[in-house]
Amino acid sequence: MSAATLAEVCVVACAEAWRGDGEILASPIGTIPTVGARLAALTFEPDLVYSDGDAVQLGAPLPAGAAPDAPRVAEAWLPFGKMFDIVWSGRRHVMMGATQVDRFGNQNIACIGPWAKPKAQLLGVRGAPGNTVNNPTSYFVPAHGPRVFVEAVDCVSGVGYDRAAAAGPAASEFHEIRRVISNLGVFDFETPDHAMCIRSLHPGVTVEQVVEATGFALVVPDDVPETRGPSDEDLRLIRDVLDPNGLRDAEVSA
């Protein structure tokens, strides 16, 4: 197999976010998170439940970018309304995007600038509040920089650890921001005050590079490992089964 690309390293890093989840619903948003979730299901997490992104629980993965009428192995009907029952039950791990994210995992996908008169209107808060207080949530950021990793988000869409704690048990009991994966590395909140910490850096990335690209003080452990690269079997599945058209490469920034 040829050497892994950055996009393929990110796919594996996303897949690893679901390690140990067992029989829950994986809800990835975006090409690389979707390929990652399906890679996890085909390798180390066979009980993971996943859908076609529409209304069907799949028994075998579709390739990224499959046509709406592409044949599929359907295991169950998973309509939109049912998703709310799964969210409230906590039996789900969603991987969303983040236009902004801060040191405690507060996420913004709603607007840039003041809420009353924003400079840019984005998606809106969408399902981020319910996701973050009810089930594990991770974020994938394809272009790591100080305009994304900010000291304070302009609007809180997804709830971070500080705000969940301040809101009390109703928000904090089931709250978990599992991972933030970017084109530079993998980050978690497994620190005493739940501040963002470097978990691993992708091949060739330095601590200094990440610190410079982050708008707040990251927690840097004494030993920073390299992100796990894809195995030959991972690469075969990514390239031949899950994303044969290479859509992953358009999503990540080198």
Angle at 25 between CA 23 and CA 26, to 5 degrees: 115
Q: What is the 3-state secondary structure (H, E, C) of 39-101?
A: HHHHCCCCCCECECCCCEEECCCCCCCCCCCCCCCEEEECCHHHHHHHHHHCCEEEEECCCEE
Domains of the chain: 6-250 (3.40.1080.10)
Q: How confident is the model at residue 1 (pLDDT cuts 50, 70, 90)?
A: low
User: Which region among 4-18, 38-52, 75-89 has the lowest average model confidence (pLDDT)?
Assistant: 75-89
Burial class (CB in 10 A: 0-12, 13-18, 19+), 46: exposed
Q: What is the pLDDT of residue 36?
A: 98
| pTM of the shown model | 0.96
Answer yes or no: are the C-beta atoms of 10 and 183 closer than 8 Å: yes
Q: Which residues pair with 25 in a beta bridge?
A: 49, 92
**pLDDT tens for residues 168-226?**
999 999 999 999 999 999 999 999 999 999 999 999 999 999 999 999 999 999 999 99
Please choose, from the candidates 8, 19, 4, 5, the residue with its C-alpha nearest in 3D space to the C-alpha of residue 188.
Answer: 19
Q: What is the pLDDT of residue 254?
A: 66
User: Does the pLDDT at position 145 exceed 80?
Assistant: yes
Positive or negative, the CA dihedral 194, 120, 139, 252 is: negative
